[in-house]
């Protein structure tokens, strides 16, 4: 009788814009392991980020210095609550994250401690805000035209491709004048929609050069362990298996396009049959279903879903 191949699952971690006031509150109330993560992050920051997360205003939570560590906190707290329910370590076959989400993979894969991961996220957010102030810009979602056409539009307008989320959803960025020109060109060339995003910078573009330079100094100050499970990089869309590879990836990430479509396809091609979105929201799960029709997805971002996953249900 042939032996069945066990199903392999991957963790995928959301990035900025997945935040919502109240996220993580039930984890904090009901899971000791999750509460320890939140407490550690409050200690790292020297302030009560949990107050902003649980009972603050959407405007305060959306601020980069709050949103980035808050999303990371909920992602890592969800993972620890899963382990608490399982009574043992919960490691995927692979892990990846969308932009900011890639940093959650560092802790899960054992590349950095939770404390070092959060310190790195906080510094990333600070440096990105400085870059946004120095080189203002924005981003827009282009729906319904292919990557080659978007590349032509960006080249003509002087804009950048920042995220290839799916074959038909591509995020572009640039300074405000060039971005507006790119939106007009995309619409003229058949885009079904061209939607400006509510962000305060041109992330994953050349406008992030000041932030990347400062972040590289921080990265060089840290010792990166080899990951316990492969991390699929945003830039390379392939498995990173050494600490040096992970560090090199992060030294490029802020100025490079997030190859999300190719990353998910790579994981599916290498045996991943279920994608578990760990953290707030379910945006990535929707993208996965468009990239790999028929793929299994699951979202774990609150106490009940963490309990169910950890108990195998």
Which residue numbers are catalytic? 99, 204
Q: How far apart are CA 45 and CA 166, in angstroms?
A: 35
- The total number of residues shown for the chain amounts to 313
DSSP 226: P
3-state secondary structure of 204: coil
The continuous run of DSSP H or E covering 261 comes out as helix 260-269
Give the C-alpha separation, 72 to 74, whole Å.
Answer: 6
Give me the phi and psi of 243, to 5 degrees please.
Answer: -60, -35
Using DSSP, how many helices (H) and how many strands (E) does the chain show?
Answer: 14, 10
Q: Name, in order, each residue with C-beta under 8 angstroms of 13's C-beta and a sequence gap of 6 or more.
A: 75, 95, 96, 97, 98, 101, 102, 103, 104, 105, 277, 278, 279
Pairing type for strands 272-278 and 8-13 reads parallel
């Amino acid at each position: 009788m042939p032996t069945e191949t066990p199903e392999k699952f991957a963790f995928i971690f959301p990035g900025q814009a997945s935040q919502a006031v109240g996220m993580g509150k039930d984890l904090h109330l009901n899971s000791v392991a999750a509460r320890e993560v939140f407490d550690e992050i409050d200690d790292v920051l020297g302030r009560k980020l949990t107050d902003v997360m649980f009972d603050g205003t959407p405007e305060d939570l959306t601020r980069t210095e709050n949103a980035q560590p808050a999303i990371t906190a909920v992602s890592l707290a969800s993972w620890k609550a899963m382990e608490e329910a399982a009574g043992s370590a919960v490691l995927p076959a692979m892990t990846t994250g969308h932009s900011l989400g890639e940093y959650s993979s560092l802790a899960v894969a054992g590349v950095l401690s939770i404390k070092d991961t959060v310190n790195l996220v906080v510094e990333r957010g600070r440096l990105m805000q400085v870059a946004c102030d120095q080189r203002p810009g924005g981003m827009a979602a282009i729906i319904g035209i292919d990557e080659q056409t978007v590349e032509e539009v960006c080249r003509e307008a002087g804009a950048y491709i920042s995220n290839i989320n799916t074959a038909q959803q591509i995020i572009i960025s640039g300074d405000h004048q060039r971005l507006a020109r790119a939106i007009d060109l995309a619409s003229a060339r058949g885009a079904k929609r061209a939607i400006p995003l509510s962000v305060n910078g041109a992330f994953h573009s050349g406008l992030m050069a000041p932030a990347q330079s400062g972040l590289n100094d921080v990265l060089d100050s840290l010792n990166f362990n080899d990951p316990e499970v492969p991390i699929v990089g945003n830039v390379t869309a392939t498995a990173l298996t050494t600490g040096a590879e992970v560090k090199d990836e992060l030294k490029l990430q802020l100025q490079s396009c997030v190859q999300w479509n190719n990353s998910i396809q790579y994981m599916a091609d290498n045996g991943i049959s279920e994608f578990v979105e760990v953290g707030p929201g379910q945006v990535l799960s929707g993208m996965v279903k468009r990239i790999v029709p028929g793929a299994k997805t699951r979202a774990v971002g609150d106490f009940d879903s963490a309990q169910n996953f950890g108990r195998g249900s």
